[in-house]
Amino acid sequence: MRSLAGYYFLFYLAISVYTPYTSLFFSDKGFSNTVVGLILSLWAFVSVISQPVMGMLNDRLSNPRKILMVSSIAAPIIGLGFYYFDGLSAIIVLSVLFAWFQSSMGPLSDSIAVEIGNREGFSFGSVRLWGALSYSIGAFATGFLYEKYGYDHIFFYYLAVNLILALVTLLLPKAKPSFKKTTIFEQISEVSQNRPFLIFVGISMLTFMSVAINFSFLPIYFKELGFDKRLLGSAFAIAAIIEVPMFWISAKLSNKIGRYNVLCIAAAIYAVKYIMLFAFTDVHLTLALQLLDGIAFAFVAGTAVEVVDSFSSDRTKATLQTIFAATTWGLGGIVGNAAGGMIVDHLGVTILYFILGIFCAAASALYAITKKRANAISF
């Protein structure tokens, strides 16, 4: 548990130094909001391919530590290219390579944590909360750092943290080997016939797509409305710090009222937040609403991983986690970031948040509709 907690602390600390600021990084390079959205959509598109491939590779090799170590070194080294190249064609090539390695680390890490947690008797949320803590620290500090010195060097900081992360990866416990004789076609067949999982993915895409869009365009929201961008890091930090206790509460709440009820509540909280951002354009209210964001994210992220694990067999644990991430974050990010940039350019950033509110309200209703069937299946 200690090694997993340390890993998650460093993993999300690394994420905090660059992901909240990628849209501003590319915007400062002179790209329009539409192009920025398309670049981020490309990252998501690559993840749709890379995450299932890396997940199936992991389930066949049963060596996630090696895959995570290679990815933790390759991703930041490739990311340095964004600093040295300004042309769109070069950015596209780098985006493909960067997203391939970076996007697979999260779901593979979650697969390891859930498996070891089930084996050793602790919840996923009890280790994931350390990532929320480090993200809040990193986002808060870098918000002021980057506003003073600019966003040019975000991938240098990412490299520095990831080098330490690569060393900590060596301390992770070994995962339990899965079935060695399974083939890729057998894995694909098993996933395609898992109807409860596919339904869950479809509903979750509405929520996770909205979360991905918000994550990409909240900096643009600050910029378009003239908010002090020094507070951007504080906004992400507020959401992340409340996640720390909420990941713990999420696990307790899931046992008490059921996982689908927790997901239903989380999607409803997101809907309230996004509609409020549409209706009111005040920086202090925006910061306060980040508390809702942190609560909802902890409920969604902690619970969804465990729901996906409950749908998987021994030979598809990493596969289902990566497919879920590829579809919800990846495919949802492709559609959402591309459309989000165009909506902001033509209709304004507040309209974007109104649409996100509708998506999450729909997801909350669908979770409520399907919870009885899901409880009968596995809970």
| Structural domain spans, the chain | 2-378
- DSSP per-residue codes, 52-77: HHHHHHHHHH--HHHHHHHHHHHHHH
Whole-prediction pTM value?
A: 0.68
Each residue's pLDDT, cut to its tens digit, for the chain (379 residues) gives: 778 888 889 988 888 888 777 877 888 788 887 788 788 778 878 877 887 777 777 766 666 777 888 888 888 899 888 888 888 889 999 999 998 888 878 777 877 787 777 777 777 777 877 887 888 788 777 777 776 777 777 888 888 888 888 888 887 776 554 444 455 555 566 667 777 788 888 888 888 888 888 887 888 888 888 887 778 777 877 887 788 788 888 878 888 888 889 999 999 999 999 999 999 888 889 899 999 998 998 898 878 888 887 777 666 666 777 788 778 877 777 777 778 878 888 888 889 999 999 999 999 999 888 876 555 444 4
* The pLDDT value given to residue 112: 78
How far, in Å, CA of 186 to CA of 181, rounded? 10
For 230, the token pair is 């020094």
CA-based nearest residue to 322, from 52, 77, 32: 52
CA-based nearest residue to 170, from 85, 72, 82: 72
Query: Considering the domain 2-378 in this protein, what is its CATH number?
Result: 1.20.1250.20
How far, in Å, CA of 153 to CA of 113, rounded? 31
* The pLDDT value given to residue 175: 57
For 112, the token pair is 């390891």
